[in-house]
Amino acid sequence: MKKTILVTGGAGFIGSNFVRYIYNKYPDYRVIILDALTYAGSVENLPVNINEQSGERLVFWYGNVRNGELVDTLVSQSDVVVHFAAETHVTRSIYDNFLFFETDVMGTQTVANSILKYRDKVERFIHVSTSEVYGTARKELMDEDHPLFPMSPYAAAKAGADRLVYSYWATYEMPIVIVRPFNNFGPYQHLEKVIPRFITSCILNEPLRIHGDGSAARDFIYVEDVCRAIDLIMHVNMNQVNGEVFNVASGNHRSILSIARDVIKLMNKDESLITFIGDRPGQVFRHTGDIKKIQNFFPWQPEISWLEGLERSIEWYKNNRPWWEKQLWMRSVPIITKSGKKELH
């Protein structure tokens, strides 16, 4: 095998799309996945049936990124580490944030320490951060120098991890690249996230619940475009990108209300399905990614348009009902609002 890529969190949404992408594109690469299979991860998301895996091209390890010995064993065999593993649902971080700091911050520290230990073997560490570290946009387009004002415990944990990785570059000259994707969507995304929730609500003829008045806006990018960006970062000469941070976004924002309307329209449903609930505490009001930097470094641009991505996603959820039906009970999370009221978000 030409290269070994360790993918943490490879059984989750973006991680499994990335594993599938790499697995199909590079037959001479070995992919090792480390995943704790939390509620958000499943071996069903992988491109091979692990009951039949040969152990050659794809190796699955069930385990926790906080387990230093296990991480050492896997990192010591790897040329590249792509670190996705995290607790990822903003609303869940309002309800119970313990695991967010343990996995997102301490898990990243464990992975970073292993890479430091095996720095002669590992040629690069790609850390998957998030645009949530920026908080609400202070300028129209958010570039990589936008200040970090995380607005939720999830965003704060990810900001800690992001800066921790940067500090390992600054202190130890560790070969790192930090990627800050904006909101991803596509197949295998958990039902707790807004687009799968809207699509499956339409399939079930159930209300589409919207926080606040639905004017909060995000920059949505189709997951395959993000996988392509990480692939480029994985293969460019490391001297060109060492210590750099890259946004990966579409460069456009859309309001949550307009997303609900687009889903309803594409699925031939009625707008009366839209219902409004209280706003999410720590809500970020607008996010639009500036993608000039990544485009200066790479021949990259988002290739899947919003509507095409949405159509593909709708098709996938229509065709994979057994996959998502198990998650129905997790579509809403109870939180206690400032006024002490319990709300389902």
Q: Of residues 4, 78, 88, 93, which one binds ligand NAD by CB under 6 A? A: 88
Residue 153 within binding range of ligand NAD, rule CB under 6 A: no
Residue 157 within binding range of ligand NAD, rule CB under 6 A: no
Choose the binding region for ligand NAD from 182-190, 271-279, 296-304, 313-321 (rule: CB under 6 A).
Answer: 182-190
**How many C-beta neighbours within 10 Å does residue 61 have?**
17
Residue 190 within binding range of ligand NAD, rule CB under 6 A: yes
HSE (CB half, 13 Å, CA atoms) of 13?
25
The residue nearest ligand NAD at its CB is 12
Q: Which two tokens stand for residue 43?
A: 């071996």
Q: Which two tokens stand for residue 66?
A: 């906080």
Residue 249 within binding range of ligand NAD, rule CB under 6 A: no
Contacts to ligand NAD from residues 252-311, by CB under 6 A: none
Choose the binding region for ligand NAD from 86-94, 267-275, 294-302, 309-317 (rule: CB under 6 A).
Answer: 86-94
Choose the binding region for ligand NAD from 35-43, 145-153, 198-206, 230-238 (rule: CB under 6 A).
Answer: 35-43
* Burial track 230-239 (b if 16+ CB lie within 10 A, e otherwise): bbebbeeeee
Q: Of residues 84, 101, 198, 246, which one binds ligand NAD by CB under 6 A? A: 84
Task: Provide the 3-class DSSP secondary structure of residue 111.
Answer: helix
Contacts to ligand NAD from residues 108-147, by CB under 6 A: 128, 130
CB contact set of 135 (below 8 Å; sequence gap of 6+): 148, 149, 150, 151, 155, 284
Q: What are phi and psi of 319, to 5 degrees?
A: -90, -5
Order the strands of the 80-83 sheet from edge to edge. 58-62, 29-35, 3-8, 80-83, 124-128, 176-181, 244-248
Question: Which residues of this protein are in contact with ligand NAD, per CB under 6 A?
Answer: 8-9, 11-15, 34-38, 40-41, 64-66, 84-88, 103, 107, 128, 130, 158, 181, 183-184, 190
